[in-house]
């Protein structure tokens, strides 16, 4: 073999092995070309599993009545895009979501993702709290394999139900290598949203999920995901949170800010033993004086961690802006919505009570 042949062979070997090496560096082995991905569908209820009295019933239906087997049977096309298996983890309307359901779901997701025969997970879920479950899992799932949460705005019995196409797209996305390492994804209406930013914005319309100013991550189109952005914040395998040995989470609640607000809810949560309070303040997380700020100062003196968030929906809550956070020993939520700040604060409290360390977590996740 002459030199140039030898060099060509070396390049050929390198080019074949390189993609494999790259994927292995994410901790997720490359899939054999032409092989269907193994996707596990975990069902939790919601409108995607809901039924109404007639095909035109799109409100006033009952959520969480159809089991996972029927959900899968209703979309025979799933078999052409992945080897799917289903499991009913629980069956609830997602307004009834709680910390215990989250822990159960997270443990099941982590156990399944450790298996070599699971390439990705789809979770069917109600849309009311889908964004919260997504962010919780985004912080506690210990794998880079895709986790896609999907719901529907119309029940399964409705004319133009959106569940089947959303489930079909979610299964493709969960089986795709493009979704590896992107964090937990929320998919409805052909739009791929990241867990940290996504929020429900319309009570009834199928086009309801937005990531507001920071934007969604990509589209599903013609059986393929197209990604255009990804989160700069740490998630999944790169977080410090571990729920494997937890059965409960620290008590954290949200107090909503509004004109004429009084201190009653803050005092009630403190009396009930809360470890943390998220204040969904007006504007830049402003605190009403004299009613609210003194109540939060009193709460902090009793050891409760205070996070200043905003009800506005966009923008950074500025540290030491609308309150003297350094002096009062408060934390700010950065751009997290109050409901997601509550989740991060609960998980932060499983690690530390140090407000500086907690503040750093809000700038990290």
Binding span for ligand ASP by CB under 6 A among 23-31, 122-130, 237-245, 290-298: 122-130
Rule CB under 6 A: say whether 124 interacts with ligand ASP.
no
Residue 62 designated active-site = no
Q: What are phi and psi of 362, to 5 degrees?
A: -70, -20
Rule CB under 6 A: say whether 131 interacts with ligand ASP.
no
Q: What are phi and psi of 305, to 5 degrees?
A: -85, 130
Rule CB under 6 A: say whether 46 interacts with ligand ASP.
yes
Q: Are the C-beta atoms of residues 282 and 311 closer than 8 Å to each other?
A: yes
Nearer to ligand ASP, 124 or 335 (CB): 124
Binding span for ligand ASP by CB under 6 A among 70-78, 93-101, 140-148, 218-226: 93-101
Rule CB under 6 A: say whether 176 interacts with ligand ASP.
no
Identified binder of ligand ASP from the candidate list 52, 120, 146, 151, rule CB under 6 A? 151
Kindly tell me the burial class for residue 273, based on how many C-beta atoms sit within 10 Å of its own C-beta (0-12, 13-18, 19 or more): exposed
Catalytic: which of 47, 127, 133, 355?
47
Identified binder of ligand ASP from the candidate list 47, 133, 199, 335, rule CB under 6 A? 47
Question: Alpha carbon of 364 to those of 63, 102, 141, 341: distances in Å?
Answer: 36, 22, 16, 12
Nearer to ligand ASP, 47 or 193 (CB): 47
Nearer to ligand ASP, 52 or 126 (CB): 126
> What residues have CB less than 8 Å from 331, skipping those under 6 apart?
305, 306, 307, 308, 325, 345, 355, 358, 359, 362
CA–CA distance, 49 with 156 (Å, rounded to integer) = 6
Q: Which residue ranges make up the site for ligand ASP (CB under 6 A)?
A: 46-47, 63, 93-95, 126-128, 151, 153
Catalytic residues: 47
């Amino acid at each position: 073999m002459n030199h140039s042949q030898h060099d060509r062979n070396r390049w050929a070997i390198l080019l074949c092995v390189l993609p494999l090496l790259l994927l292995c560096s994410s901790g997720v082995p490359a899939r054999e070309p032409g092989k269907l991905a193994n996707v596990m569908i975990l069902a939790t209820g919601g409108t995607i599993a809901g039924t109404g009295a007639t095909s035109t019933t799109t409100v006033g239906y009952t959520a969480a009545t159809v089991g996972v087997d029927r959900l899968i049977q209703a979309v025979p096309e799933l078999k052409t895009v992945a080897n799917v298996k289903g499991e009913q983890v629980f069956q609830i309307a997602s307004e009834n979501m709680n910390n215990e359901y989250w822990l159960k779901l997270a443990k099941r997701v982590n156990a399944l993702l450790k298996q070599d025969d699971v390439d990705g997970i789809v979770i069917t879920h109600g849309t009311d709290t889908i964004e919260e479950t997504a962010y919780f899992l985004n912080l506690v799932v210990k794998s880079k394999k895709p986790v896609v949460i999907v719901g529907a705005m119309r029940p399964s019995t409705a004319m133009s139900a959106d569940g089947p196409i959303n489930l079909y797209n979610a299964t493709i996305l969960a089986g795709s290598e493009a979704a590896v390492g992107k964090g937990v994804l929320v998919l409805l209406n052909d739009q791929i949203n990241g867990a940290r930013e996504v929020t429900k914005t319309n009570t009834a319309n199928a086009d309801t999920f937005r990531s507001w100013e920071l934007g969604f991550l990509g589209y599903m189109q013609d059986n393929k995901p197209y990604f255009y952005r990804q989160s700069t914040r740490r998630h999944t395998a790169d977080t410090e949170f571990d729920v494997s040995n937890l059965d409960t989470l620290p008590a954290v609640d949200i107090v909503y800010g509004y004109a004429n607000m009084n201190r009653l809810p803050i005092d009630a949560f403190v009396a009930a033993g809360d470890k943390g309070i998220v204040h969904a303040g007006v504007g830049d997380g402003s605190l009403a004086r004299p009613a609210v700020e003194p109540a939060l100062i009193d709460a902090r003196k009793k050891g409760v961690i205070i996070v200043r968030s905003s009800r506005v929906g966009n923008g950074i809550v500025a540290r030491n802006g609308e309150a003297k956070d350094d002096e009062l020993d408060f934390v700010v939520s950065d751009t997290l919505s109050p409901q997601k700040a509550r989740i991060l604060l609960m998980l932060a409290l499983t690690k530390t009570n140090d407000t500086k360390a907690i503040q750093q977590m809000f700038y990290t996740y």
